[in-house]
Structure 1
Amino acid sequence: MTVTEPTRTANPPTRTPDHPLEMTTEEEVHRVREVLASEGLLTEHVRFAFFAPEEPAKPEVLAHRDGAPVDRRFRAVLLDLATGRSTDNVVAASTSTLVSSVEVDTSKGQPPIIDAEFELIEDILNASEEWKAALRKRGLDPANARAVPLSAGVYDYPDEVGRRIVRSFAFMQDHEKDSPWAHPVDGLVAYVDLTARSVDRVIDEAVIPVPQEAGNFDDPAQVGPQRTGLKPIEITQPEGVSFTVEGNRVRWQNWDVRLGFNEREGLTLHQLSYDGRPILYRASIAEMVVPYADPSPVRFWQNYFDCGEYMFARYANSLERGCDCLGDITYLDAVIADDLGQPRTINNAICLHEEDHGVVWKHSEMFTGAAETRRQRRMVFSYFTPIGNYDYGFYWYLYLDGTIQFEAKATGIVFTSAYGPDSEYATEIAPGLGAPYHQHLFAARLDTMIDGAANAVDEVEAVPVPMGPGNPYGNAFRQGRTRLTSEAGAQRLADNSRARAWHIVSTENRNRLGQPTGYVLRPEGQPAMLADQASSIRARAAFATKHLWVTRYDPAQRYPAGDFVNQNPGGSGLPEWTAADRPVDGEDIVVWHSFGTTHFPRPEDWPVMPVDYTGFTLKPSGFFDRNPALDVPPTGGAHCASNGQGNGHVG
């Protein structure tokens, strides 16, 4: 891929931040660690399981003025690897003080699994004679078995309550360049206690042949000759980009937004406005869960919360110009804390660039001869993160016509199993190799601020009108609009058969036509969680059972499945908060939107999966008085010319 444009890099500041929502700095991570050490909370075996900015409440941020002092606070969850004890701490980096420290009740949820624990798994398993005997019974050498430890979930195992448990499969690796995902050892799983560093039990259900065909997508011998005839595409902006970046604040074509990043949610958007009018106070992907469909004795528990159980954004890629992002690129670095609480800078973590996006509006008028075309353009904020076998890209788009869009891109390698005559819940993707059915379900947290804090949500859908005196020919349908007034009543499913959408409106501001200003949330309308009503995963990931939830704003309510998702028995997060059934009509509200894909893998998904897409759109609906892209200038140069020809069609 040929790219000749320069790369622009905007680094997070190393000075004391001037705004409460600026990006984390290395100096701040050092300060937090020093405070925790001075308080005796860091010992030889203690590790950082979570670190992120503890953002001030919304009123405090909105009241901030330039030059005012900033109280920068950070949340650090600490885990003692030797005892399993954990503390949840808040540190004020600005004053180097410990604000609070609370012991975590691990019977109600564990801190996320960290790298230091993953590194222990193979040694733990190889110390188990039962595990090694199970592999040798299959004619497999334990030294060539790669352990894949996975979050345990919560099932009817009372002895696991309060203990840090993972469940581990084995995949065989023939040589160091061989992809283990091609060689799953099926019918076998180990339950491992991370604190005791011991194997609780080995479930050896069946001896199933290990698939033998290699799956190395980077091996020329397997891939074959590369195609020819693809000519280079070069994207240039000779006069530079149309956006400006000051620290983490980006301005582009009437849009104004601050960007953030943390290891749990990844990229976050703050104080998003258009022409000075607020739309979103904060937006993030606050959780995702991947529930699998195989009910077999060794796989029934496979359900992963990539945000809450793994803090997957800590693994974000350092993006490469011309590969991950194409064009005239600006990058932002992101600073997180590693297991030891030392700052780790992810260079080029966030990509900022503009993209042409086809036509924004066009018309050839048959009566006047007017013929005009304007091109659409979008501002892109993105990052990519691998987690185990999958890689996820997260893309936020801002458009010239006021549209906001989010898109998740799933690629990487599908999780594999052995495939045989009884493989009812998987697709055969290579000889003897299966890929279990599963879903990827995301939760967007949209702290809305449409023209101010007082917002409400209307459910709007198409309503067919029965044939009768007022509709003699049966062609009529109308728009149905229902105000969702309370948290219990605002738990809704999408319905594409009725074009169901949710209008988030201001209850204080109206446009020139007397309509409330608003944005419409257009869901893709794919299935919500398919697991049974009585299932463990449905209780733990209740957010994914509905496409829409609406709650009253509460700064402590950040994560839809609760703060501590790992081994949480369920009921935390949205079901707990909405039990109060608070009013949400004309209040400061948060809109939660669950969306995703139901994946029946294909042979074409192997040995590496082409990108699959999912997301949602927020489109202005009455927010503007007319087409906000009417003022977009025509494209210059000789590549666009109007011919003044109409097509004779009126419609």
Structure 2
Amino acid sequence: MRTHPLQRLTADEIRAARALLDDNGLVTATTKFALLGLEEPDKLTVLGHRPGDPVDRRVRAVLLDLATGASRTVIASLTRNVVDSVEAIDPVTDGQPPILLEELVTVDEIVKADAGWREAMARRGITDLDLVRPCPLSAGNFGIPSQRGRRVLHVLSFLQHRPEDHPWAHPIDGVVAYVDLIEKKVIELVDDSVLPIPEEEANHDDPAYTGPPRTTLKPIEITQPEGPSFTVDDDVVTWENWTFRVGFDPREGLVLHQLGWRDGDRVRPVIYRASLAEMVVPYADPSPVRFWQSYFDAGEYLLGQQVNSLELGCDCLGEIHYFDAVLADGDGAPREVRNAICLHEEDYGVLWKHTDIFTESAETRRQRRLVISFFVTVGVYDYGFYWYLYLDGTIQLEVKATGVVFTSAYKPDSSYASEVAPGLGAPFHQHLYCARLDMMVDGLDNAVDELEVQPLPIGPANPNGNAFTRRTTRLRSEAEGARAADPLAGRTWRISSSDSTNRLGRPVAYELRPEGRPLLLSDPASATANRAAFATKSLWVTRYDPAERFPAGDLVNQHPGGAGLPKYVAADRAIEDQDIVLWHTFGAVHFPRPEDWPVMPVEYCGFTLRPVGFFDRNPTLDVPATPAAHCGHHGHQQGEDHGAHGGHGGHGEHHHG
């Protein structure tokens, strides 16, 4: 029996949901569950919940009829055993349900049965179709007449030399098939040009290609002889002064609920709900075969459904606690992913240090952080999402992008792709992520100020020209809350409590520090910019509304655009001293390098939330000194920072071994 509104769905609840929808005539032999997840109660209901209170467990399902293409969204109560609502989905105006895993499999049969596609392969000298790997990809919505109202995937193809050969090294470029998934046929074939298929193999898992493993790396052992410092009670994690609840959503993946800091006998809220709510990967190649490449990995493919099963002692190192994930498959049956979420702590170098010239005091304390992470594989790319909590109250999200770059045939002197191997191209693209941060800094009502550095000219008040100050601008409405980062201005955003002050009489606050890399590079008038409008701003601030969950809208697959944040902020609601949500877009522009081939070393990006006046003084003064036995080794002077983390990653970093 579920006793908290935010507890994750169990396998029994997924079975009960499927049975309830079946009993109400909503499931037929051709019905598929494109999505089934917990319908979270609104914030006030959750905050008002007390142990022993009744809990109404509701689910949201998106159902697709593979025979007709008809789809609908259903909300049902498992507690009351009733269907609360059924809403039909209009594929023209509302978009399509997310892509099903089984649909990706059926594409192979569909394209290989098409005469036009087979002829296109023959023109390229390909006769053994068993070694061709059609790659199904989300179609987007570019106003292509043949696709209006249809459930479509676009299919590029790759060649293997033999079954164990990685096909990404051999793109069959110049041709793309548009596939109707309901009619199960190719509705349009774009055969633009016959390009050479790169021959060189690139099998990163084959010693014949990589060479023998190096033998020079000595072991690094991570041990915690007294066990970890965190505790886990069901889904609630407590570590040092931090407390939060772990959630897992089939679309967003890992969710952190009710993240707070224990201060004496009370827990001070910081974030009510934090998640990676959407991401878009737009490509730069404008050719007739590839102009449509812009993938929404959360809304179209469901990040949570693509989660990896992590291996103890391999993907995470140290004293690990794993959370399994229970997800619904296309038939509405539970599917368990073992070790989907990794929880551990790791050393992070010096926390604070001072050697005083007058008192001769010499003190050093070491930083450590709690890591909550998961990895997904979406197509060729693998993404690790790492939430970090630090001893000093800092919060970070770091995304680690790795995997295989998407490939093309390389056209000499291309303006839109890099050559990563002989004749092999990798189109330029972006990885843009949007974090949804339902803030609750010391209470429900918060406000946001934009902070910037302000140099001052020489003048009567600044005769020597050394003065600079800080400019503060209060964001008062949703229109004002749509902002772009500006690294040269040192632009950050301070989220402060409207009711709580520190001992200096100033509002307690957290500060969002963006990395400030480029935003969406597609033209503002493009279909991609219309569908991924969230990625045109670094920050959006909206008034909390439980119905506003996703930055690109509820149904992203083949949506015509304009949904999500542009629609949310259209009312231009007040955001000063209100219950507000921050949406932060961040990411990277990827101009692939030869070093990114055949498998890409991790590329990092993210953001930081740092306390600013949230505490009355340094909250880590009580962190004990590290025992001397742990500070020196083989003659190194005590206190040296050997093995400390000077940058990204850490002792617990995921890796596949």
Residue 200 (structure 1) shift: 1.1
1:222 to 201, 209, 226: 209
Indicate conservation of the 8 Å contact 1:369/1:644, yes or no. Answer: no
Distance 1:242 1:621 in 2: 26
Paired amino acid for 2:15: H
Distance 2:639 2:424 in 1: 58
* Matching of residues 318-397 of structure 1 within 5 Å: 318-397=309-388
Distance 1:309 1:213 in 2: 33
Indicate conservation of the 8 Å contact 2:478/2:573, yes or no. Answer: yes
1:284 aligns with 2:275: yes
Paired amino acid for 2:124: R
1:47 aligns with 2:38: no
Residue 422 (structure 1) shift: 4.7
Residue 609 (structure 1) shift: 0.5
**% identical equivalent positions:** 59
Q: TM-score, normalised by structure 1?
A: 0.96
Residue 643 (structure 1) shift: 8.0
* Gap change, CA 1:483 and 1:414, over 3 Å in 2: same
1:156 to 108, 131, 143: 143
Aligned to 1:460, the other structure's residue is in SS state strand
Paired amino acid for 2:2: P
Q: Which residue of 1 aligns with 2:106?
A: 120
Residue 638 (structure 1) shift: 2.2
2:397 to 393, 398, 406: 406
Aligned to 2:488, the other structure's residue is in SS state helix
Paired amino acid for 1:228: T
Distance 1:456 1:362 in 2: 34
Q: Which residue of 1 aligns with 2:241?
A: 254
1:133 aligns with 2:119: yes
Q: Which residue of 2 aligns with 1:5?
A: none
Paired amino acid for 2:166: S
Q: Which moved more, 1:284-293 or 1:133-142?
A: 133-142
* Gap change, CA 1:471 and 1:28, over 3 Å in 2: same
Aligned to 1:582, the other structure's residue is in SS state coil
Distance 2:130 2:543 in 1: 54
Deviations 1:365-417 (A, max 9, x none): 11111110000010110111111100010110100000000001100000000
1:302 to 287, 293, 298: 293
Residue 355 (structure 1) shift: 0.4
Deviations 1:72-109 (A, max 9, x none): 11111000111110010112122322111111111121
1:315 to 303, 306, 310: 306
Aligned to 2:529, the other structure's residue is in SS state helix
Residue 69 (structure 1) shift: 1.1
Indicate conservation of the 8 Å contact 1:524/1:616, yes or no. Answer: yes
Distance 1:32 1:637 in 2: 56
1:581 aligns with 2:586: no
Distance 1:434 1:169 in 2: 14
Residue 644 (structure 1) shift: 11
* Matching of residues 62-101 of structure 1 within 5 Å: 62-101=47-86
Distance 1:218 1:158 in 2: 43
**Structure 1 runs of 4+ off > 6 angstroms?**
641-645
Distance 1:627 1:300 in 2: 52
Paired amino acid for 2:176: V
Indicate conservation of the 8 Å contact 1:364/1:644, yes or no. Answer: no
| Structure 1: gaps of 5 or more residues | 1-15, 646-651
Indicate conservation of the 8 Å contact 1:371/1:643, yes or no. Answer: no
Distance 1:640 1:365 in 2: 20
Residue 342 (structure 1) shift: 0.2
* Matching of residues 104-119 of structure 1 within 5 Å: 104-108=89-93, 109-119=95-105
Deviations 1:324-352 (A, max 9, x none): 11001011111110000000111111111
Q: TM-score, normalised by structure 2?
A: 0.95
Aligned to 2:571, the other structure's residue is in SS state coil
Indicate conservation of the 8 Å contact 1:371/1:644, yes or no. Answer: no
Indicate conservation of the 8 Å contact 2:508/2:614, yes or no. Answer: yes
Distance 2:206 2:271 in 1: 46
1:144 to 128, 131, 135: 131
Indicate conservation of the 8 Å contact 2:324/2:340, yes or no. Answer: yes
Indicate conservation of the 8 Å contact 1:293/1:425, yes or no. Answer: yes
Distance 1:61 1:22 in 2: 11
Residue 420 (structure 1) shift: 2.1
1:636 aligns with 2:635: no
Indicate conservation of the 8 Å contact 2:631/2:638, yes or no. Answer: no
Deviations 1:545-589 (A, max 9, x none): 000000000001000000000111110000001010000000000
Q: Which residue of 2 aligns with 1:56?
A: 41
Paired amino acid for 2:386: Y
Deviations 1:474-524 (A, max 9, x none): 221111000000000111000110110000000111101111100000000
Residue 322 (structure 1) shift: 1.9
Distance 1:128 1:394 in 2: 40
Paired amino acid for 1:366: I
Aligned to 1:595, the other structure's residue is in SS state strand
1:102 to 76, 81, 87: 87
Q: How many pairs align?
A: 630
Distance 1:487 1:574 in 2: 10
Indicate conservation of the 8 Å contact 1:294/1:300, yes or no. Answer: yes
Paired amino acid for 1:137: R
Indicate conservation of the 8 Å contact 2:146/2:187, yes or no. Answer: no
Distance 2:384 2:208 in 1: 29
Distance 1:264 1:644 in 2: 45
Residue 639 (structure 1) shift: 3.1
Paired amino acid for 2:404: I
* Matching of residues 173-212 of structure 1 within 5 Å: 173-212=160-199
What is the RMSD of the two structures over their aligned residues, measured on CA atoms? 1.2
Indicate conservation of the 8 Å contact 2:631/2:639, yes or no. Answer: no
Q: Which residue of 1 aligns with 2:595?
A: 604
Indicate conservation of the 8 Å contact 1:289/1:305, yes or no. Answer: yes
Q: Which residue of 1 aligns with 2:231?
A: 244
2:5 to 20, 45, 69: 20
Aligned to 2:623, the other structure's residue is in SS state coil
Q: Which residue of 1 aligns with 2:560?
A: 569
